């Protein structure tokens, strides 16, 4: 009796092993791909969440200390401490190696939007994908749109030469001479503000984001035209409860920033800002120490410059489901590979229509 039970267990075990080996085959066997339905269903109706964050801020500078108040907390930044921990970030003088003179010359009777896209020297294929899709010089609904890739330096001479060649061919690269590294990303924020202040104060709007993003320009321009506060506020996916991390890649020491939460900032550095924000942001960047995390740094500058934010859920900074209908509604989607971006772009060009499902129609009306 006992032996029979043992045999059953052993054979059962083998049978399970065999079954698990064949599982992938069985799966494809039973799961013959179903042909895509010809009709595209519309996505479920979504309510977009948007709200403005108005400032009641104050900035006070006393010796090496900046006192920033955001209506909830006071943050004291000790410049001496930042100079001790991140000397290069504080002292770098924004040396341009590839400049774009006259880039922002604004045409009469047109508004101008600059797409400032943070890239890296070696991301040739990403830039190529962006140029093939949304990051082209073009006119949309009375806006002249111009892309500008923000790049730092690398010790790879071949890459540097290729970047120079690319810059001459496309006229859309601005390069600084600090080393390209996540640790120095805040310098792109500071140097971009300086460059905008010096050479580009006539531009109407600036989009800022990464070379992994998709921007729905038509939707973005409609959005800018319709938002009553687009001329004075910074729009993005605003983080209001972001905790200060003490471990991992984004760790910040207690001596540098002795608070539990950061002030508000646009997540992932993806934002759209009006001309009016350039000068105040640049001015405070001369006083506020450079914070080692780029998006928090921008938040601190915005706070010091007393600029209001508007949060909008259509900035999908943490990625989004790969669905053409959702992309049609989105303003910005981050974290996209160049291949997916091109696929999505092609899908968006096809002028298909969607059909409302009857159950959804009932829901909405
Ligand atoms: C900050 O801006 C708001 C309007 O956006 C204004 O009411 C307030 O007085 C400003 N605060 C300071 C300190 O300038
Ligand atoms: C500011 O930073 C310096 C350098 O680390 C330090 O010696 C000093 O005690 C700090 N001041 C305050 C008030 O924390
Ligand atoms: C796409 O659709 C729009 C509006 O429905 C229409 O104006 C346009 O002509 C269409 N384009 C193509 C290529 O079918």
Ligand 2 and 81: CB distance under 6 A: yes
- Which tokens is 138 given? 């073009």
CATH of region 50-348: 3.90.550.50
Test site for ligand 1: of 55, 67, 305, most ligand atoms within 8 A of the Cβ: 55
pLDDT of residue 362: 46
pLDDT of residue 357: 55
- Residue closest via CA to ligand 2's atom 14 equals 78
pLDDT of residue 37: 45
Every domain of the chain and the residues it spans: 50-348
pLDDT of residue 51: 80
pLDDT-flagged residues of the chain (< 50): 36-38, 360-365
Ligand 1 and 69: CB distance under 6 A: no
Contact present, 322 and 341 (Cβ < 8 Å): no
- Separation of alpha carbons 102 and 225, rounded Å: 26
Record the pTM: 0.83
pLDDT of residue 186: 98
């Amino acid at each position: 009796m006992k032996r029979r039970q043992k045999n059953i267990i052993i054979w059962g075990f083998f049978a399970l092993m065999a079954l698990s080996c064949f599982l992938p085959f069985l799966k494809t066997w039973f799961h013959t791909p179903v042909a895509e339905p010809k009709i595209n269903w519309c996505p479920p109706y979504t309510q977009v969440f948007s709200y403005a964050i108005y400032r009641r801020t104050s900035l006070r500078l006393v010796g090496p200390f900046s006192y920033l108040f955001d209506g909830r907390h006071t943050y004291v930044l000790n410049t001496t401490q930042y100079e001790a921990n991140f000397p290069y970030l504080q002292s770098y003088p924004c040396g341009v190696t590839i400049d774009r003179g006259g880039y922002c010359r604004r045409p009469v009777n047109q508004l101008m939007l600059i797409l400032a896209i943070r890239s890296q020297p070696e991301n040739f294929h990403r830039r190529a994908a962006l140029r093939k899709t949304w990051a082209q010089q073009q006119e949309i609904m009375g806006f002249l749109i111009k892309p500008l890739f923000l790049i730092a330096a690398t010790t790879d001479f071949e890459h540097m030469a290729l970047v120079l060649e690319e810059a001459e061919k496309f006229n859309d690269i601005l390069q600084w001479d600090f080393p390209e590294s996540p640790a120095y990303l805040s310098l792109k924020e500071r140097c971009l503000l300086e460059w905008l202040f010096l050479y580009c104060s006539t531009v109407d709007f600036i989009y800022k984001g990464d070379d992994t993003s998709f921007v729905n320009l038509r939707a973005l321009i409609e959005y800018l035209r319709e938002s009553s506060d687009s001329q004075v506020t910074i729009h993005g996916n605003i983080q209001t409860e972001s905790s200060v991390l003490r471990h991992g890649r984004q760790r910040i020491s207690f001596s540098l920033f002795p608070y539990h939460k950061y002030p508000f900032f646009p997540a992932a550095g993806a934002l759209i800002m009006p001309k009016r924000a350039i000068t105040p942001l640049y001015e405070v960047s001369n006083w506020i120490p450079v914070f080692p995390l780029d998006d928090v740094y921008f938040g601190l500058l915005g706070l010091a410059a007393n600029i209001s934010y508007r949060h909008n859920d259509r900035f999908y900074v943490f990625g989004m489901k790969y669905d053409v209908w959702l992309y049609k509604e989105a303003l910005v989607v981050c974290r996209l590979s160049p291949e997916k971006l091109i696929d999505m772009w092609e899908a968006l060009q096809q002028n298909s229509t969607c059909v409302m499902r009857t159950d959804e129609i009932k829901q909405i009306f």
